[in-house]
Amino acid sequence: MNKKLNDLFSPKILTKRTIFMSFIVAATFISCSKNNEEIATEAQTTASNMENVIKGQLNGQEITYEKKDGMNFFQGDIVLTDQQLMEEGSSNKGGASFSRWPGGKIYYTIASNMGSINVNKINTAVSEYNSKTNTQWIPRTNQSNYVEFIFGSSSGADGWAHIGYQGGKQTVSLDQYISVGSVIHEMGHTVGLYHEHSRKDRDQYLSIQWNNIQDGQAYNFNIYNSGTDIGPFNINSVMMYWPNSYSKNGQPTIKRANNTTFTYNRTGFTTGDINTINTMYP
């Protein structure tokens, strides 16, 4: 769901961009890919979902995440492993060295049921990474450490991904109607980026509209300060939340710090996103 690409761990070192270097939720797992037209469905939060909301530790910081389908979802579309939630905070765990892909090489495969439209989106996104960043997404042959793009919902427009390098097989899930920009966003989590809105310095630039957020979903807007922010805050980052993410009433949940609204179009990389990734992977 930013530069923590911005944050490097798109937020924090994986960067805060929240980069996880080392850096859907409520009955609706409103992922980073949600746009204003999807707000209505995002507003459905049930008691049973709330029972799956858990507090834990990530890199020494207390966080709140959701347990769904046996996976740990942080901020809607970031999947954390049980190991990541058990690691103690240190510069080498959940930080720059832990979750970067060796040599910036990310081997990948695409599930056979993905469908040609989404395969084309993946190919476009891979081309963006390979031509503009120091990471290289390479079709897998027999590598044991790799990413598989899997098909999510046939009616949704969201996605989710494991954060940073884990080792072994990890996953990026893409729904039928996800945009190319949101494919790039989910791949950003894979390289180690968290969400831009959770950077340490975000309150200098953003005003969170807490009263407009769905009941029980406010934790998705908490600052993740256990990483390292890379470069300046970037409201247009491909890792930024939508202005109406998790809205319960159709009103903005995120505004500029001066309380004005902003228009956000997740079309692809900004210069700041590219610089963040290339700082992570020199």
Asked if residue 56 lies in contact with residue 108, where contact means CB atoms within 8 angstroms, the answer is: no
Q: Is the pTM of this model over 0.85?
A: no
Question: Tens of pLDDT along 126-169?
Answer: 999 999 999 999 999 999 999 999 999 999 999 999 999 989 99
Q: What is the pLDDT of residue 49?
A: 57
Distance in angstroms between the alpha carbons of the first and the last residue of the chain:
24
Block residue for tokens 């980069």? 19
Point out the residues of the chain with pLDDT beneath 50.
1-33, 36-48, 90-97
Please count the helices (runs of H) and the strands (runs of E) in the chain: 7, 13
| Complete domains list, the chain, with CATH | 6-280 (3.40.390.10)
Which one of the listed residues 38, 42, 186, 196 is annotated catalytic? 186
Please give the pLDDT value at position 22.
35
- At 82, give phi and psi (nearest 5°): -60, -35
Residue 106 in contact with residue 147, Cβ under 8 Å? yes
Q: What is the pLDDT of residue 173?
A: 97
Block residue for tokens 């929240």: 18
162 appears as a binding residue in the annotation: no
- What pLDDT, on a 0 to 100 scale, did the predictor assign at position 248? 97
State the pLDDT at residue 60: 83
d(Cα 79, Cα 81) in Å, to the nearest integer? 7
Could you read off the pLDDT of 84-93 as tens digits, one per residue? 887 665 443 3
Residues in the chain: 282
Question: Catalytic residue at 148?
Answer: no
